[in-house]
Amino acid sequence: PSICTVFQYFSFFFEEDDKALKELEVRCRSGDIICGECKEKLAERVKRFLSEHQKRREKAKDVINDFFIDDKV
C-alpha cells in the first residue's frame, strides 16, 4: 500500500471511512486481497463518481449563464 497508486486513490479520494481504509490496507498487506480486486473496486467507485459528475455538469448547463456578468451596458 505504501507505493501502490490504487491504494493512494482510495486513501485520498475514494474511501472516507478510516476504519475501512485501514481494513483494506491490512487485507492488502496480508495478501487477503490482490491488486486486481482493488483495481476492480476502485474502477467501480471512479465510474460512479464520474457518472454523478456528468449528471451534475449537465444540470449546471441550465444555470451557468446566471453566474456571468453581462458587460453590455
3-state secondary structure the chain: CCCCHHHHHHHHHHCCCHHHHHHHHHHHHHCCCCHHHHHHHHHHHHHHHHHHHHHHHHHHHCCHHHHCCCCCC
Give me the mean pLDDT over the 6-27 stretch: 93
Does residue 57 fall inside a structural domain?
A: yes
Does residue 70 fall inside a structural domain?
A: no
Does residue 35 fall inside a structural domain?
A: yes
Residue 73: pLDDT band with limits 50, 70, 90: low
Does residue 71 fall inside a structural domain?
A: no
The reported pLDDT for the residue numbered 20 is 94
Residue 53 structural domain: 5-65
Does residue 72 fall inside a structural domain?
A: no
Q: What is the pLDDT of residues 22-54, one digit of tens each?
A: 999 999 999 999 889 999 999 999 999 999 999
Q: How many domains does one find in the chain?
A: 1
CATH number of domain containing 57: 1.10.240.10
